[in-house]
Amino acid sequence: MPRVLAMGDIHGCATALRLLLEALRLQPDDTLITLGDYIDRGPDSASAVQQLLELARTCRLIALRGNHEEMLFDALRSGVACSLWLQCGGQATLAAYGADHDMPRLPDAHLQFLQSTLPMYETPTHFFVHANYEPHLPLDAQPAEVLLWRSLRDVIPAPHVSGKIAVVGHTPQPSGSVLNLGYLKCLDTGCCYGGWLTAIDVATGAAWQANQRGELRTIPPLLAGG
pLDDT recorded at residue 80: 66
Work out the number of other CB atoms within 10 angstroms of the CB of residue 7: 24
Sheet holding 126-129, edge to edge: 120-122, 126-129, 165-168, 184-186, 179-180
Mean pLDDT of the chain: 93
Average pLDDT over residues 6-18: 98
Could you give the residue numbers annotated as active site? 68
User: Could you give the number of structural domains in the chain?
Assistant: 1
DSSP per residue, 35-56? -S--SSSSS-HHHHHHHHHHHT
Domain that holds residue 147: 4-224
> What pTM was computed for the model?
0.94
Residues shown for the chain? 226
pLDDT per residue over 147-193, tens digit each?
999 999 999 999 999 999 999 999 999 999 999 999 999 999 999 99
pLDDT per residue over 49-78, tens digit each?
999 999 998 999 999 999 999 999 988 887
| CATH code for position 208 | 3.60.21.10
